[in-house]
Amino acid sequence: MELALQQIVYEEQAKMKALGFVEAQIGSNEAKCSIFLSSQWERVGRLLLIIVSGNGIQPGIWSRSLVMEPHDTSRQYYRSGSMLPYLHKAISLGYGVIVTNPSTNMVITNQNEKIPIPGSSTPEEHVRYVWEAFGAQARCHQVYIAAYGRGGALAKHLLTTQPSVRHKLAAIAFIESSHRVGADDPEEVRAIISTRAINWQRSKEDPGCQLSDCTQLGCLSLSAGEPEYARHSNEQRSTNTAWTIGASMDTVFAFFDSARGYDLADEQHYLQAMQNMHPTPPPQDQALHEDGEMVIETIIDRDSHVTSRY
């Protein structure tokens, strides 16, 4: 299974490179990991950071279990769980894109020695380093973040620790986010999340409906709806939360577009508009079991392996 997953990741990253993405290394000769940067990322006016974190997650995929689903190329151009639809849309709309890799934190040698990756020894250190070494050097005047699952907590960490992110942030799209906002968080961070972020999650409510049970997220939370089978059947099936990514993609980018002219005076207007929008459903049912815990090792040279941990 691990070898099959790594082959899929390799194929997805090859397609990213075909879109013009460049692989950049973080760390040292002994221990390193990769992030991916779109062409001209440092020159465009709008920069999108993609943050997703979890055991075994690599640049190019949102979910291990979704990308392992059999891929019928005659019915579906993109593989389920692939980042490629998001990346293609972002590039077509003129965004520069940085795809982070916060789950790869150490290498394991053939002698079973664990070597932390400099600049990426923890997910939090990784996103800070990527921002300071790349994001902060870009000429962009606006920053956007798409954060899935545990990536939401890392996006909040960036806001808390990086004043330049707070200064340039236009919007955050949380998708099934695990972050929490509390009274102990800085007031400025709470205000930014409250006014410039929306969370999308799977719900029995109609797509676009505001969800009232998500106050701990500190921002507006909208329903992405649920898979077609769930609306017309009493069948009980587990669905990977990554389904929400495809279901909400068009609405997420519409939200980003509305934030281009971000103005505090217009804040309530565009948040209300987002509630009235309906996300485009994915091309086919993407129901799968939730991701299980797994550690992935990828050979980076003859003597060591990369392992993804959270």
3-state secondary structure string across the chain = CHHHHHHHHHHHHHHHHHCCCEEEEEECCCCEEEEEECCCCCCCCEEEEEEEECCCCCCCECCHHHHCCCCCCCCCCCCCCECHHHHHHHHHCCCEEEECCCCEEEEEECCCCEEECCCCCCHHHHHHHHHHHCHHHCCCCEEEEEEEECHHHHHHHHHHHCHHHHHHEEEEEEECCCCCCCCCCCHHHHHHHHHHEEEEECCCCCCCCECCCCHHHCCEEEECCCCHHHHCCCCCCCCCCCHHHHHHHHHHHHHHHHHHHCCHHHHHHHHHHHHCCCCCCCCCCCCCCCCCCCCCEEECCCCEEEEECC
What is the pLDDT, as a whole number, of residue 76?
52
Name residue, tokens 């200064």.
Answer: 167
pLDDT above 90 for 71:
no
Across 154-169, b (16+ Cβ under 10 Å) vs e yields bbbbbbeebeebbebb
Count structural domains, the chain.
1
Name residue, tokens 């692989």.
Answer: 23
214 close to 222: Cβ distance less than 8 angstroms: no
Q: Tens digit of pLDDT for each residue in 230-283?
A: 555 554 444 567 789 989 999 999 999 999 875 444 445 444 555 555 444 444
Q: What is the mean pLDDT of residues 17-30?
A: 95
Bridge partners (DSSP) listed for residue 108: 114, 305
**Mean pLDDT, the chain, integer:** 82
pLDDT above 70 for 298:
no
Nearest to 57 by CA among 115, 120, 94, 104: 104
C-alpha gyration radius of the chain: 19
What is the pLDDT, as a whole number, of residue 62?
86
Domain that holds residue 20: 2-308
Q: Parallel, antiparallel, or unpaired: how do β-strands 104-109 and 96-99 relate?
A: unpaired
CATH number of the domain within which 92 lies: 3.40.50
Bridge partners (DSSP) listed for residue 37: 22, 98
Q: Tens digit of pLDDT for each residue in 89-107?
A: 999 999 999 999 999 999 9
What is the pLDDT, as a whole number, of residue 303?
41
Q: Tens digit of pLDDT for each residue in 103-125?
A: 999 999 888 899 999 999 999 99
Bridge partners (DSSP) listed for residue 89: none
What is the pLDDT, as a whole number, of residue 56?
78
**Of the ranges 51-65, 179-193, 211-225, 277-291, the best mean pLDDT one:** 179-193
Confidence category of residue 1, pLDDT binned at 50, 70, 90: low
Q: Is 166 helix (H, G, I), strand (E, B) or coil?
A: helix
What is the pLDDT, as a whole number, of residue 141?
94
Name residue, tokens 């986010």.
Answer: 177
Across 285-302, b (16+ Cβ under 10 Å) vs e yields ebbbeebeeeebebebee
Q: Tens digit of pLDDT for each residue in 130-163?
A: 999 999 999 999 999 999 999 999 999 999 999 9
What is the pLDDT, as a whole number, of residue 208?
92
Burial class of residue 100 (count of CB atoms within 10 Å of its CB; 0-12, 13-18, 19+): buried
